[in-house]
Amino acid sequence: MRAFSPCPLLAFPALSATASLAAMKVSSNAQLPVLHHDSPFVQEVVQAVDALHSEFRAVDNLVARNSFRVLKAFQNARVGSHYAVANSNAYNQHFSGSTGYGHDEAGGREALDQAFAEIVGAESAIVRSQFFSGTHAITCALFAFLRPGDELLAVAGAPYDTLEEVIGKRDSHGMGSLKDFGVTYRELPLAENGGLDWDALECAVKPHTRCALIQRSCGYSWRQSLSVNDIGRAIKMIKIQNPNCLVMVDNCYGEFVEGIEPPMVGADLMAGSLIKNPGGTIAPCGGYVAGKRIWVEAAAARLSAPGLGTDCGSTPGDIMRAYFQGLYLSPQMVGEAIKGTFLIAEVMASKGFKVQPLPRASRHDTVQAVQLGNRESLLAFCEAVQRSSPVGSFTKPVAGSTPGYASEVIFADGTFIDGSTSELSCDGPLREPFAVYCQVGSIPSSEG
């Protein structure tokens, strides 16, 4: 078990930025803040750490429970690194790479899929480097379910920005959005409190609603993230209205934040990215889809081609080892990230900033949003985080257009994996309310 290593963001020059955001004078030569004697942390953080004692303890318990689940699944999948035959049992070289079609793959792909499925309580899973990103995995899952004439219903307000062109909510210029294929789309706005609108959901599902999309994490919206229990409640409501309506959960940033996952409460599929929570900062690329076997196979056919299914796809080099190791470490990384969200919320709220989730509120994802109020503050915050990172600390992030996003977006990601958000990172679209979305996982304090 990793010892507690508190949120690095807050011990860094970034803190001098965060602590003085109201004045917003972050110079490129920001000095390290004065640290509390005998502690790697500035005063505000020392106080926050003390105040958050019971929250951190609860996170440690969560990490222990989730790590145990992962360990059991690895054992059940007989994950092994050496080929051997002993007592009639064959142990495979699960960490070895494969090339070409991947037909000569040594069993790692299957073991990883099996372990992942067990961990998230699904019948089946595909965990693959061939998924570019979370958006790609979610897209494969949506296309697995939907056919011309069907309706897609987003039940948790607007979906994440990069799904707009996938759905056809934003023009994809004939590139093959769901809309191009005759799939209609409807959105159920969130309730005023930023949660699901339960009253509206009770009668929202129509006979031709083939798929309900539930986004667990907040994305770039000022909204609540959903607990898995709430997702389960929503699934029940959806299935009562139309048992043929399939439920797909966008699980990005949700993995291991609770002790249960969406397939355990009835989701037909869920999808996410390996350069977020379940890659444990080790996975270099990839994504996953997990859920009911038949639909996982349909998503796999969408990733590759009908007929090729889940048994194809090579993974060169030592990526398989990185996947196993990252998944194994993931509950601990996520635990660090959750502690980070608590610390950011505590400190930034004490400075008068609006935060979502609120300080000490229970967490359902690894994202902490802070409203900075204007473009300059958002840019300065991201610059300060970038300066505090181990990779590219000498670079300055600039806002710009990014494939899939309609708004200008700024990313501070001085991370070892490009775009990874399980380390110290933050980002945000340059639009009202100029909120920054922070993820703070694995990077130790500059002093510690």
Give the footprint of ligand PLP on residues 128-167 (CB under 6 A): 133-135, 160, 162
Q: How far is the CB of 181 from ligand PLP (least distance, A)?
A: 21
Nearer to ligand PLP, 26 or 355 (CB): 355
Q: How far is the CB of 133 from ligand PLP (least distance, A)?
A: 3
Binding track, positions 177-216, relative to ligand PLP; x by CB under 6 A: --------------------------------------x-
- Candidate residues 150, 250, 261, 423; the one interacting with ligand PLP per rule CB under 6 A: 250
The reply to whether 319 sits near ligand PLP by the rule CB under 6 A is: no
Nearer to ligand PLP, 162 or 371 (CB): 162
- Candidate residues 108, 219, 263, 414; the one interacting with ligand PLP per rule CB under 6 A: 219
Entry field: residues in the chain: 448
- Candidate residues 217, 332, 371, 420; the one interacting with ligand PLP per rule CB under 6 A: 217
Structural contact between residues 382 and 410, judged by C-beta atoms closer than 8 angstroms: yes
d(CA 254, CA 264): 14
Nearer to ligand PLP, 181 or 405 (CB): 405
Q: How far is the CB of 213 from ligand PLP (least distance, A)?
A: 10
**Any idea what the Cα angle at residue 51 is, between residues 60 and 22, rounded to 5°?**
115
d(CA 356, CA 159): 18
CA distances from 229 to 201, 234, 364 (A): 16, 9, 10
Q: How far is the CB of 317 from ligand PLP (least distance, A)?
A: 21
- Hey, what amino acid is at 129? S
- The separation between the first and the last C-alpha atoms of the chain, rounded to the nearest angstrom, is 18
Structural contact between residues 179 and 167, judged by C-beta atoms closer than 8 angstroms: yes
Nearer to ligand PLP, 176 or 309 (CB): 176
- φ, ψ of residue 35 to 5 degrees: the values are -95, 150
324 three-state secondary structure: helix
Nearer to ligand PLP, 44 or 250 (CB): 250
Nearer to ligand PLP, 219 or 397 (CB): 219
Q: How far is the CB of 7 from ligand PLP (least distance, A)?
A: 20
- Other Cβ atoms closer than 10 A to 400: 11
Burial annotation 234-245 (CB, 10 A radius, 16+ → b, else e): bbebbbebbeeb
Torsional sign, CA 218, 224, 229, 235: negative
Structural contact between residues 415 and 385, judged by C-beta atoms closer than 8 angstroms: no
Helix residue ranges per DSSP H, 372-442 = 375-387
Q: How far is the CB of 216 from ligand PLP (least distance, A)?
A: 7
Stretch that binds ligand PLP, among 42-50, 228-236, 249-257, 334-342 (CB under 6 A): 249-257
Q: How far is the CB of 31 from ligand PLP (least distance, A)?
A: 32
| Residue of 439, 437, 436 lying closest to 417 (CA atoms) | 439
Residues 6+ apart with CB under 8 A from 19: 33, 42, 44, 347, 351
The continuous run of DSSP H or E covering 122 comes out as none
Nearer to ligand PLP, 133 or 445 (CB): 133
Nearer to ligand PLP, 253 or 256 (CB): 253
Q: How far is the CB of 221 from ligand PLP (least distance, A)?
A: 9
d(CA 348, CA 295): 43
Q: Which token pair is 10?
A: 């807050």
- Candidate residues 214, 252, 283, 298; the one interacting with ligand PLP per rule CB under 6 A: 252
Nearer to ligand PLP, 107 or 134 (CB): 134
The continuous run of DSSP H or E covering 66 comes out as helix 53-76
- Candidate residues 12, 41, 74, 253; the one interacting with ligand PLP per rule CB under 6 A: 253
- Candidate residues 16, 273, 277, 356; the one interacting with ligand PLP per rule CB under 6 A: 273
Nearer to ligand PLP, 111 or 369 (CB): 369
Nearer to ligand PLP, 134 or 278 (CB): 134
Q: How far is the CB of 47 from ligand PLP (least distance, A)?
A: 30
Q: Tokens 């902490």, residue? A: 368
- φ, ψ of residue 345 to 5 degrees: the values are -60, -45
Beta bridge partners of 86: 89
Q: How far is the CB of 385 from ligand PLP (least distance, A)?
A: 16
Q: How far is the CB of 156 from ligand PLP (least distance, A)?
A: 10
The footprint of ligand PLP on this chain (CB under 6 A) covers a number of residues equal to: 12
d(CA 144, CA 178): 11
The residues binding ligand PLP (CB under 6 A) are 133-135, 160, 162, 215, 217, 219, 250, 252-253, 273
